[in-house]
Amino acid sequence: MARKDITLLTDGNEKMQYTGKANGCHCWTFSLPAQKTCPFRGECSKFCYASAGNYTCPGPMACYKRNFEASKRADFAEVMTDQIKHAINLDSKRGLPTVIRLHDTGDLYSLAYLLKWVKIAQNLPGVLFYGYTKSHPFLAGIDLPHNLYFIPSE
């Protein structure tokens, strides 16, 4: 469920909430439209889980579109850094560390977009950022900060 005071991050689905509880943290998610932001998709586009079910409902679709438009802004790194700082403040009141899951739908759609997340992670060294990606070519030669992980998808 999206919080009204944080506009680009969501609390994620039940699986993410369970993951957070099981690991003693709060997992926020930032997602983008499926397939449109997946430049290295292949056969998986035929059975993409994020192209069906609840992912295609008007609420989530509007959220993904809003996030995609925000991610293209020149000040995205600054806006997202501020929103994550707010999330950290909320989580610290509950005694929980903040974790950001990138792209339960969507992917790294450009090198410029990846570099914005590198900057965000550098701004917030105490936050763990992670995601799954098929955009391996964008990662080549990039020195990722210690707190930003991408797990290769097949």
Q: pTM for this one? A: 0.88
| 3-state SS track over the chain | CECCCCCCCECCCHHHHHHHHHHCCEEEEECCCCCCCCCCCCHHHHCCHHHCHHHHCHHHHHHHHHHHHHHCCCCHHHHHHHHHHHHHHHHHHCCCCEEEEECCCCCCCCHHHHHHHHHHHHHCCCCEEEEEECCHHHHCCCCCCCCEEEEECC
Please list the pLDDT of the chain residue by residue as tens digits (154 residues): 444 456 899 887 777 787 888 888 899 999 998 867 777 776 665 555 555 556 555 567 788 899 999 999 999 999 999 999 999 999 999 999 999 999 988 889 999 999 999 999 999 999 999 999 989 999 999 999 999 999 998 7
